[in-house]
Structure 1
Amino acid sequence: MSSPAPFSRYEFMIAWRYLRARRAEGGVSVMTWISLIGIALGVMALIATLAVRAGFRAEFVDTILGANAHTTVYMAPQRVENEFTDDVYVVPGRIQDYDAMAAKLAELPGVERTTPIVRGQVMATANDSSNVAEIFGVSLDALKAMPRIVDPQTSQGSVEDFDKGVAIGAGIQRELNLNIGDKIKLIAPEGAKTPVGTTPRVKSYEVVYVFSAGRYDIDRTRIYMPLAEAQDYFNRENVADEIEVFVTDPEKVDDWTLPLLEAAGDGAQVWNWRDASGSFLSALDMEDDVMFVILSVLVLIASMNITSGLIMLVKNKGGDIGILRTMGLTEGAVLRVFFLCGAFTGIIGTIAGVILGVLLALNVDGIMAALNALTNGGAWQPEVRGIYRLPAELRAWDIFRAIGLSLALSFIVTIFPARRAARMNPVEALRYE
């Protein structure tokens, strides 16, 4: 007569019966519930944390790519010698024939569009308040191509009126108490040149559009101005400071560095969004790995409760083990019965943890909003975090590795007490029964 196959139906039946401890064996039942709840909470915390970290990174990158160029081409600074004093000073590089260069860069494979811009620092004042701002001189078409800037749900005014004034960030609007149609005064140190030197340039513009890019630092400092007006305001007649380049795959923006340098010619330099934010994104990736390791330890601690519960179960079921062995159960069958006891706990706890973790991740934005309301904005500070909300992004890979980790740890910690039960001597187990 052949032996039953491993993990036969009766092994599952015995394991499930042992898990449902009677009142007299309440300690075993309590330990089982503690193990189950601990694993569920550990998996929930792991999934929710990974989702929040992925959502934070995705939101941060989206705010970068939605309001900034993927990569920027500019000319290197030039050293100029004063023929009268022999002094050498450095002047910023300017792009002379910027339309031709922008058209040449746009012909490269994978480049979606290019935009010449003029940039400069100013002091913005209105209503007895002031703020430091950065001017971006762009065309109307370039402004309309930025998804984070022209979002109708977060903007005010009409972007079509851009040529009649300036577009300001929501942070500047808030700090200077401005509305659509109000005047904002801009003061630039690079003004008109006179025999006694350069005087600051002061000019007022109408606020025709207010945007929110989703980033606190952008909304608080950025002003968009028509390109021709910016050239006149900053004394950049017929030149541009940079050419912004947008590519088909921003995640692989480094692949366009060499082609852009070759197309731009001598003296050109490239600065992409990864150069600007790469260190921060690398820190986020490292923090993701550290958080996974720390939360994995929590899941391991919760899984260790399975070992305690199974040791108590083996002790309480010593007589049953002896009887089962005398009835013909092999050591392997006994081992599998108690392995299944621990595996059931791990599987049920993991399933519960996945459900709770997914629910928490899906509602984390609302939960943070409620906490922020209760703490008067102390739970989430945009000026510290950079973005206005705490997003979450559930990724299948994160859920799968949380499930795999929990099940693997649950199965591993079950082996020791299961082997102890399998090696129990039937005679010794029945001696005091």
Structure 2
Amino acid sequence: MIAWRYLRAKRAEGGVSVMTWISLIGITLAVFALIATLSVRAGFRAEFVDTILGANAHVTIYAARHETADGRTISSFEDYDAAARDVAALEFVTRAAPMVRGQVMITANSRNAGAEVYGMRADDVRSIPRVGDGADADGDLARYGEGIAIGSGIARELGVGLGDRIRLISPDGVKTAFGTSPRVSAYEVVYIFTAGRYDIDRTRIYMPLDAAQTYFNREGLADELEVMVKHPEAIGTDAQIALMQAAGPYGNVWTWKDSSGGFLRALDIEDNVMFVILSVLVLIAAMNIVSGLIMLVKNKGRDIGILRTMGLTEGSVLRIFFICGAFTGIIGTGLGVLLGCLFAIYIDPIFSLVNYVSGGGVWDPAIRGIYALPAKLQLGDVMSAVGLSLGLSFVVTIFPARRAARMNPVEALRYE
């Protein structure tokens, strides 16, 4: 009751000071910044992992260089359908698809660009998340055998649409007496997909497997097996050994973590650094509570002396001023959580407003790899921010509250 009276008292009556209001606003902004940063970090990680796992293979099995029965040296699978069936038979595998892969230069409308061709069967392309059925795409995969599927970034770069024809140029063409001549073939665009990641939409082309085998001189061969598993984040050594054994004596495994682990490790390091920096920000805001509480104790020195002479214990005085300081931390934390959650929920219109005010161009997908600023509100992140803020607020409140409790009532009333 006494603490509540002190909190409600006006400044002229020796109540809550301006420093207390400053500390309240500081804690609110610090908690808001912490929750906003953690939610954006979680959104980045989820978006990166989703696009990596969505349009890319969870595990790629490629063949080591070996000699065939007719004396050729190849780095491809000969009996690729059998290898794919053996890999798909594993309990943790959901799909295994043979694939021919190669790099080409594409040209259309007097424009040129580089691209990577994935030669796959229509059913396998149809089952790829973010590319096949149910993806953000234009066209019909039923016509996949008549042409090729390209990313939306390639379509924009070349200025082509459905039904247009583009030329693919590969340096590994026909071998003649004068050397190897480039192979040039024209294909109709029958499907345009948007995987949601800039580097995929800008560089990837899907071509029927038999057409890719002919184009890249891989008749009867497949370069890789694209494998999808039930739990991609749990791919371990045992699973990799089982995949290599199922693929045959020349199979080697390359997981999505091997190819994109640098992204995830960079995000983890950035998460830890940002959490530490923002924790210091919360600590600085909480330290303002000390200033406000010390001023309150000084203004209430006579009250403390009177209460002590009336029989109030040191513990009771400590609790009075601890409640005053802790209440500031609780209110500031609550407001910060509210603002942080609203920011994470309405990040799209907020960012659109920022982009409009700044004249556009704030977000460049060519640099960040994804098309929008993501945010994912997680209970664990919110609880971490709440625990940190309240913990620091309670700890820093103890020191001025103890000073008030240990005040000598005789000294407090000496000049009264």
Q: In which range does the TM-score fall when normalised by the shorter chain? A: over 0.9
Match of 1:295 among 254, 273, 278: 278
Partner of 2:215: 233
* 1:298–1:182 Cα change, 3 Å: same
The aligned residue for residue 195 of structure 1 is 177
Q: Deviations over 1:350-394 (max 9, x none)?
A: 111100000011112222233234445421100000000111001
Instruction: Describe the SS at the equivalent of 1:191.
Output: strand
Select which of 330, 348, 355 maps to 1:365: 348
SS in 2 for 1:378: coil
Task: Please point out which of 111, 136, 147 is paired with 1:154.
Answer: 136
How far apart, in 2, do the equivalents of 1:159 and 1:375 lie?
Answer: 40
Alignment pair present for 1:16 and 2:4: yes
Distance 1:392 1:384, change over 3 A: same
Q: What is the identity, as a one-letter code, of the residue corresponding to 2:65?
A: P
**Distance change >3 Å, CA 189–CA 130, structure 1 → 2:** same
Q: Which runs of 5+ in 1 are unaligned?
A: 1-12, 84-89
* 2:59 partner letter: T
Normalised by the length of structure 1, the TM-score is 0.92
Distance 1:139 1:28 in 2: 73
Answering whether residue 29 of structure 2 is matched by residue 47 of structure 1, we say no
Q: Whole-Å Cα distance in 2 between the matches of residues 151 and 53 of structure 1?
A: 30
Q: Which residue of 2 aligns with 1:387?
A: 370
Instruction: List runs of 5+ in structure 2 lacking aligned partners.
Output: none
Residue by residue over 1:303-353, the C-alpha shift from the partner in whole angstroms, topping out at 9 and shown as x without a partner, is: 001000000000000000001101111011101110111110011111111
Of the three residues 53, 77, 84, the one matched with 2:65 is 77
- Specify the alignment match of 2:406 in structure 1: 423
SS in 1 for 2:235: helix
1:283 aligns with 2:259: no
- Give the distance between the partners of 2:24 and 2:334, measured in 1 at CA: 10
Is it true that 1:96 corresponds to 2:78 in the alignment?
Answer: yes
CA 329–316 in structure 1, closer or farther in 2 if over 3 Å, else same: same
> Which residue of 121, 125, 135 maps to 2:107?
125
- In structure 1, the partner of 2:157 is 175
Q: What is the CA-CA distance between 1:430 and the residue it aligns to?
A: 1.0
Q: Kindly tell me: are residues 219 and 160 of structure 1, through their superposed partners in 2, closer, same or farther at Cα, counting changes over 3 Å?
A: same
Do the aligned residues in 1 keep the contact of 2:14 with 2:299 (CA within 8 Å)?
Answer: no
Distance 1:377 1:124, change over 3 A: farther
1:253-272 aligned at under 5 Å gives the runs 253-254=235-236, 255-272=238-255
- 1:15 match: secondary structure: helix
The amino acid of 2:268's aligned partner reads D
Aligned length: 413
Match of 1:327 among 310, 316, 324: 310
Counterparts of 2:217 and 2:363 in 1: how far apart (Å)? 42
| Cα distance in 2 between the residues matched to 1:26 and 1:336 | 19
Residues 121 and 208 of structure 2 are in contact (CA less than 8 Å); yes or no, is this contact kept in structure 1?
Answer: yes
- Asked if the contact 1:21–1:29 (Cα under 8 Å) also holds between the matched residues in 2, the reply is no
Q: 1:207 maps to which residue?
A: 189
| Structure-2 separation of matches of 1:374 and 1:340 | 43
TM value normalised by structure 2: 0.96
**Is 1:350 aligned to 2:338, yes or no?**
no
Residue among 186, 192, 207 paired with 2:168: 186
Deviation of 1:150 after TM superposition, in Å, equals 2.9
Q: Does 1:60 align with 2:43?
A: no
C-alpha distance in 2 between matches for 1:120 and 1:228: 14
